[in-house]
Amino acid sequence: MDVVADLHVHTTASDGRLTVPELPAAARRAGVDVVAVTDHDRLHPDLDAPVTTRDDVTVIHGIELQVETATGRIDLLGYGVRETPALRAELDRLQTDRIERARRMAERVEDRLDVSLDVTFEAGVGRPHVARAVDASDADCDYAGAFERFIGDDGPCYVSRSVPSVERGLDLLADAAAVVSLAHPFRYADSEAALDLAPHLDGIERYYPYGRPVDEAQLDAVIERHDLLATGGSDAHDGRLGLAGLDADEYARMASRLPDAQG
């Protein structure tokens, strides 16, 4: 499939490597015409409209919002976002929590390894920043090892985040986003429960680089049953875009639900 729209990309506003000015060049390298910026729990401060055009590349202002369900945490993707006061207040709370959480994890790693970590505790900070700091420190531990040994979900230095309920998250995004989609449904311990949210969604992330076989027919059936949009993206945290996403026909359907591009 020829990917023209990568609808799941992280930037330096959260835990990605790309800046917004670097997006067009990265998109061109991948042969992608459309990129959605979906930073964790944060609206990118340099995107001032739901959809913009930068150097002939369409950039969709999005967000990836983690929420709590009865069976575990899942991620919602909002596309074509306009900031509302309620969403701004919740994101401010989440970023404050993220900063304190990262600080506590870094302190635990420092105490455990007797090292000093160079982490900037600011909006957007997350576990990858701590892991990169471990990799760059005097510790005999690389980026992957930091997760495996210390800050993974069951690690001795892990600190949980405070996230909104799924009901709260859906309400916030319903008011702020043109399209709300379920991110990477097969990454959850209970995928069936996550997909049960379909009646409350506009789309499901149909295309995603899991790196393993998944039941794509199940997603197609849910999408058809509830007349949802198929979304998709690479979940890029580096400069490699286009590993997954939508073809031209699928993106045309998505675009019909989004505001017109500005700029």
Nearest to residue 75, comparing CAs of 99, 105, 119, 41?
A: 41
The runs of H, that is alpha helices, within the chain are: 23-30, 85-113, 127-136, 143-146, 166-176, 191-195, 216-225, 248-255
Residue span of the structural domain in which 208 resides: 5-83+164-257
- In whole angstroms, what is the distance from residue 168 CA to residue 40 CA? 16
The confidence score (pLDDT) of residue 30 equals 97
Q: Residue 157 falls within a domain, yes or no?
A: no
Is residue 11 located within the same domain as residue 69?
yes
Give helix 127-136 / helix 85-113 axis angle, nearest 10°: 30
CATH value at residue 206: 3.20.20.140
Is residue 38 located within the same domain as residue 146?
no
Residue 195 has pLDDT above 80, yes or no: yes
Is residue 233 located within the same domain as residue 136?
no
The confidence score (pLDDT) of residue 1 equals 79
53 SS3 class? strand
pTM of the model: 0.92
Residue 261 has pLDDT above 90, yes or no: no
Residue 109 has pLDDT above 90, yes or no: yes
Is residue 27 located within the same domain as residue 138?
no
Nearest to residue 203, comparing CAs of 218, 217, 224?
A: 224
- In whole angstroms, what is the distance from residue 246 CA to residue 189 CA? 26
Give the other-Cβ count within 10 Å of 243's Cβ.
Answer: 17
Dump the DSSP string for 194-255.
HHTTGGG-SEEEEE---SS---HHHHHHHHHHTTPEEEE---BSSS---SS-B-HHHHHHHH
Q: Which residue has the tokens 């989440």?
A: 94
More confident residue, 124 or 172: 172
* Average pLDDT of the segment spanning 28-53: 97
**152, 158 Cβ separation under 8 angstroms:** yes
Is residue 143 located within the same domain as residue 171?
no
CA 36 to centroid of chain Cα atoms: 10
